[in-house]
Amino acid sequence: MFDPVTAAILRTAPALPELDPETLPETLTARYAQLVARRLRRAEGEEATEEDDAWPLARIADAYELVTSIHDDTDVRRAAAFVAGTAQQILAQESLTTDEAGQLPILDRDRVAPALAASLLFLAAEQLADANEATQRIRISSGQQDYVATLLAESTRDLAAGRLASILERADRRPEHFIARGGLEARGTAALFETLLVGVELFAAEVLGRAAPDKAAGRFDSAHVAFARVLELSNDTYQSSDPAVGALLTSYPGPRHLAALLIAAYAATAQAATTKIEPPPGVDVEFWRSWLRHRAATAPFMWRNHREAVEKGFHLNGTSAVMVLPTGAGKTTVSCLKIASVLGSGKTVIFIAPTHALVEQLTTDLQQVFPEELLGSIVSSDFDRLFATGTNLCLAPFFSTSDLVVD
């Protein structure tokens, strides 16, 4: 069920009693097969219960989510998060996970709904496509929780889906202060969630390379600081001289757990922000930064393989490169960095594709990636315009084996 790369990541998860991480890919595959078999039996009207096993899927999901929440090692958290997210994703296919139907709060003092947690777990594992997919299972029913928790859940969902501009738009229209229903503890819960919301807004602004929204600006030095503050404030000890009470642990487990997941997600993805790619030598810095900010609106994070290409200088001017990637692995995304680098140094790009149909599709795509207002010229598939004023990115069909770029 898992490709070799994915299986390798799963195997780096920490060992748990009677659960060897070497066997995790096989174990998860077996659980998935059992789940599908149960679903088929139920569809045929037969009774189907889960096999008795020391490590059923829900326990794998819960245990590794818990490890992600409490472990001190970033690499361990990343691997644990991936196992937890994967187990939850498999489980979500079974109708038994009905608590996601919007009948329960998505967030409250004591819980983070599994679907919301799963999307953050995938972010923490730097599995951006999985994080996006996991957001589709998030059901936020307003009225089940305080308004601030609803907004936080919505912005967290947008974060995992890579819709960071939506987070900043929500920040602009949300209230500055929230009124919590209930007494002091309800106000405390709301304050913790409000801080996490500010953290998510700072996170989005940082990744997009934009100024922090007014309501979040100046509150904390960074998103991480906001999340860490919640982690710290969620637990407290009330020391009583009455031995029957002793040291009373007072706690807000839901905000604490969400803060821990956000810290893990931030650690794994903040450095992957598209806007953080340094301008290549010889490239107009202002053009480069403007283009990255534009690009980040639709592609806020660089995938790991894209970052590897950047680290190897693939995008630098004067560096010839051949890239071979499977469909959907981001050839065009990485190519765009190369194109931006060339355009930013005042040169012209010829992009050659093998068919007329692909030329037309790529022309449309690249016009969005390089809009006229940013480029000062038009992306065109009219090859005759290549030498005309106003075009310095031109697409053409494949016409010779000596062509420069083949997509």
Contact positions with other proteins (CB under 8 A) in 17-46: 17, 19
Residues 66-125 that bind other proteins (CB under 8 A): 66-67, 69-73, 76, 80, 88, 91, 96-97, 99, 104-105, 108-114, 117
* Least separation in angstroms between CB 109 and other proteins: 7
Q: Using CB under 8 A, pick the residue from 85, 162, 188, 199 that binds other proteins.
A: 188
Residue (74 or 348) nearer to other proteins, CB: 74
Residue (100 or 407) nearer to other proteins, CB: 100
In 3D space, the residue among 374, 381, 297 whose CA is nearest the CA of residue 343 turns out to be 374
Residue (20 or 286) nearer to other proteins, CB: 20
Q: Using CB under 8 A, pick the residue from 3, 45, 221, 244 that binds other proteins.
A: 244
* Least separation in angstroms between CB 265 and other proteins: 16
For residue 57, which amino acid is it?
L
Residues 256-285 that bind other proteins (CB under 8 A): 256-257, 260
Residue whose entry in the numeric block shows the structure tokens 């659980």: 31
Angle subtended by helix axes 57-70 and 114-124, to nearest 10: 60
For residues 256 and 259, give the distance between their C-alpha atoms in angstroms, rounded to a whole number.
5
* Least separation in angstroms between CB 260 and other proteins: 7
Q: Using CB under 8 A, pick the residue from 240, 319, 348, 368 that binds other proteins.
A: 240
Return all residues near 238 (Cβ < 8 A) that are at least 6 apart: 247, 248, 250
> What are 16's strand-pairing partners?
19
Does 215 interact with other proteins (rule: CB under 8 A)? no
Does 191 interact with other proteins (rule: CB under 8 A)? yes
Residues 361-400 that bind other proteins (CB under 8 A): none
For residue 292, count other CB atoms closer than 10 A to its CB. 21
The 168-187 contact track toward other proteins, x by CB under 8 A, reads: ---------------xxx-x
* Least separation in angstroms between CB 138 and other proteins: 13
Q: Which strand (E) or helix (H) includes residue 107?
A: strand 107-108
**Residue 41: half-sphere exposure toward Cβ, Cα within 13 Å:** 11
* Least separation in angstroms between CB 83 and other proteins: 12
* Residue 77 structure tokens: 């958290």
3-state secondary structure of 185: helix
Query: Looking at 150-158, 206-214, 253-261, 327-335, which segment touches other proteins (CB under 8 A)?
Result: 253-261
In 3D space, the residue among 340, 339, 272, 276 whose CA is nearest the CA of residue 303 turns out to be 272
Phi, psi for residue 127 in degrees, rounded to 5: -105, 85
Please give the DSSP secondary-structure letter assigned to residue 39. H
* Least separation in angstroms between CB 353 and other proteins: 47
* Number of residues forming the site for other proteins (CB under 8 A): 76
* Least separation in angstroms between CB 115 and other proteins: 10
For residues 340 and 218, give the distance between their C-alpha atoms in angstroms, rounded to a whole number.
33
